[in-house]
């Protein structure tokens, strides 16, 4: 008898529980419908209370519950600034984001198109920047940093901008953040470039291109973009990191990118990196250091090693050209030309080596007892400068500057005529130059 009574009670309890569940579902669906329709009509005031019922009792009912709530609360914040209730609505805005991130895995399991919690965190940070009654820049920087380091190039363009902008604001109040700010800029720039490379819609790509320009502007205006600033940041830390190859490589890459390869920090980082493991970058850094010390032979030897260790042809060309420039500075003309030609062999659209060869020839144009023939060297020089412009338009301005000077040095037509030459004739410039050209 007691068993039968217990079963009856349990059945009754189950029935009550089921009825309550059905009642809750019904309440949630009704309030969700009322709230959502009110939001669509722009009637945020009437949407607010039914929305709160849904948020409290059925947080997994609809994904749009959260987007509706954000719209409601942003509307309230825009109309209550300076009023006592403003802080209440701001706290609810932040709590809405927190609840959405909490339930994101479950929402993703049942609904398609639910963004990641890290993406949501970035949107929370942007709303925080816009609406926070009192700004905590460290807090919002932490949120944005977590988001972009998780999403990387999948981050929205605006998020990547706000991340560096917030990092700059943190730098303004905390000078010790300088090194991290530079790293933030490098990472952010890389992610923007990756996003630009993968986006197919022009409107979206344009957004990332605009952000890229803004990132450069933020970096330039930060005061950290100078070689002196980089030297100040990294020089005191290299000794402590002399066995940390990852850190040393970062210093080398940053200073190389910023064209600060004449700074002691770059030399020291390269030296310690080279001691750990000879790499192309480290060998090149040590080559620059040897050149600065006046040891030309050691410098060229190290550039040779950098060329050998490097697999990227553009970088091989860069190291070859650097060696050519160093040899030119000590008047080793033939050797310099050899390395300039090597640079061209690695990168055929590289204009700088052609300009260097032209200037090498201009320093030693004489190869004949006839002054007019010696002046034919300038035809070869002009050939090199024309070639530089043809293969590499980026160096056209520099090439044109030299063309304007050297074209004044070509021989007079009458002087060549007396020697049996006329326009259109081929002539070989002798001596160490040994190249043919056309008289014009």
pLDDT in tens, 84-95: 999 999 999 999
Find the mean pLDDT for residues 334-343: 98
Instruction: For 426, list phi and psi in degrees, rounded to 5.
Output: -85, 145
248 is a domain residue: no
51-75 pLDDT, tens digit each: 999 999 999 999 999 999 999 999 9
pLDDT tens digits, one per residue of 248-257: 988 998 888 8
pTM (whole model) above 0.75:
no
Position 354 in a domain: yes
In this prediction, residue 262 carries a pLDDT of 87
Instruction: Please tell me the chain's helix, strand, coil percentages from 3-state DSSP, rounded to the nearest 5.
Output: 80, 0, 20
CA distance 37 to 182: 47
pLDDT tens-place string over residues 346-367: 999 999 999 999 999 999 999 9
Range 361-369, long-range pairs (CB < 8 A, 24+ positions): 361/433, 362/406, 363/331, 363/333, 364/333, 364/431, 364/432, 364/433, 365/409, 366/431, 367/429, 367/430, 367/431, 367/432, 367/433, 368/430
The answer to whether position 308 is within a domain reads no
Residue 418: which pLDDT band, with cuts at 50, 70 and 90? Answer: confident
Taking residues 394-423, report their average pLDDT. 93
Determine the pLDDT at residue 88.
97
Mean pLDDT for the chain overall: 92
C-beta contacts of 42-48 below 8 A and 24+ residues apart: 44/71, 44/72, 44/75, 44/76, 47/72, 48/72, 48/76
- pLDDT tens per residue across span 201-246: 999 999 999 999 999 899 988 988 889 988 988 999 899 999 999 8
- Residue 421, in any domain of the structure: yes
Which tokens in the block code for residue 425? 């004739």
Mean pLDDT of the 2-25 span: 46
Q: How far apart are the C-alpha atoms of 113 and 105, rounded to whole Å?
A: 12
394, part of any domain? yes
Q: Which domain holds residue 370?
A: 349-440
Closest alpha carbon to 358 in 391, 335, 332, 333? 333
Q: What is the pLDDT of residue 267?
A: 92
- When divided into structural domains, the chain yields a total of 1
User: Would you state the pLDDT for residue 23?
Assistant: 64
Q: Is 60 helix (H, G, I), strand (E, B) or coil?
A: coil
373 in any annotated domain? yes
Pick from 169, 85, 87, 154: which is nearest to 115 by CA?
154
Element (H or E) spanning 20, and its range? helix 2-40
Buried b (16+ CB within 10 A) or exposed e, 254-282: bbbebebbebebbbbbbbbbbeeebbbbb
CB half-sphere exposure, 243, CA atoms < 13 A: 0
pLDDT at residue 22, rounded to an integer: 52
Q: What is the mean pLDDT of residues 336-349?
A: 98
Q: Is residue 404 part of a domain?
A: yes
426 in a structural domain: yes
């Amino acid at each position: 008898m007691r068993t039968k009574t217990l079963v009856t009670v349990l059945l009754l309890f189950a029935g009550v529980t089921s009825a309550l569940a059905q009642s809750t579902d019904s309440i949630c669906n009704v309030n969700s419908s009322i709230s959502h329709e009110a939001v669509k009509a722009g009637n945020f005031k009437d949407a607010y209370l039914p929305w709160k019922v849904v948020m409290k009792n059925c947080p997994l009912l609809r994904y749009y519950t959260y987007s509706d709530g954000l719209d409601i609360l942003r509307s309230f914040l825009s109309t209550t600034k300076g009023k006592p209730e403003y802080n209440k609505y701001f706290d609810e805005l932040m709590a809405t984001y927190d609840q959405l991130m909490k339930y994101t895995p479950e929402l993703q399991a049942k609904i398609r198109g639910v963004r990641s919690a890290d993406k949501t965190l970035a949107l929370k940070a942007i709303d925080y920047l816009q609406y926070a009654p009192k700004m905590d820049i460290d807090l919002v920087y932490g949120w944005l940093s977590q988001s972009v380091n998780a999403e990387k190039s999948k981050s929205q363009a605006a998020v990547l901008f706000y991340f560096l902008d917030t990092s700059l604001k943190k730098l303004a109040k905390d000078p010790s953040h300088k090194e991290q700010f530079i790293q933030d800029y490098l990472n952010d720039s890389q992610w923007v470039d990756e996003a630009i490379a993968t986006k197919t819609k022009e409107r979206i790509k344009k957004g990332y291109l605009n952000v890229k320009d803004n990132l450069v502007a933020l970096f330039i205006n930060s005061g950290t973009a100078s070689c002196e600033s980089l030297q100040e940041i990294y020089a005191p830390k290299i000794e402590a990191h002399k066995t940390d190859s990852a850190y040393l490589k970062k210093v080398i890459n940053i200073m190389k990118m910023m064209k600060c390869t004449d700074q002691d920090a770059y030399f020291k980082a390269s030296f310690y990196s080279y001691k750990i493991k000879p790499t192309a970058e480290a060998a090149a850094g040590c080559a620059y250091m040897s050149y600065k010390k006046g040891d030309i032979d050691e410098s060229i030897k190290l550039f040779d090693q950098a060329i050998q260790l490097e697999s990227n042809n553009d970088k091989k060309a860069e190291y070859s050209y650097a060696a050519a420039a160093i040899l030119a500075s000590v008047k080793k003309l033939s050797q310099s030309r050899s390395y300039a030609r090597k640079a061209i062999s690695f990168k055929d659209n590289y204009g700088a080596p052609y300009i260097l060869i032209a200037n090498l020839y201009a320093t030693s144009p004489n190869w004949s007892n006839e002054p007019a023939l010696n002046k034919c060297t300038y035809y070869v020089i002009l050939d090199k400068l024309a070639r530089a412009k043809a293969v590499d338009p980026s160096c056209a301005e520099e090439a044109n500057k030299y063309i304007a000077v050297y074209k004044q040095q070509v021989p007079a037509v009458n002087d060549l005529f007396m020697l049996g030459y006329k326009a259109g004739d081929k002539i070989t410039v002798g001596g160490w130059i040994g190249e043919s050209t056309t008289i014009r």
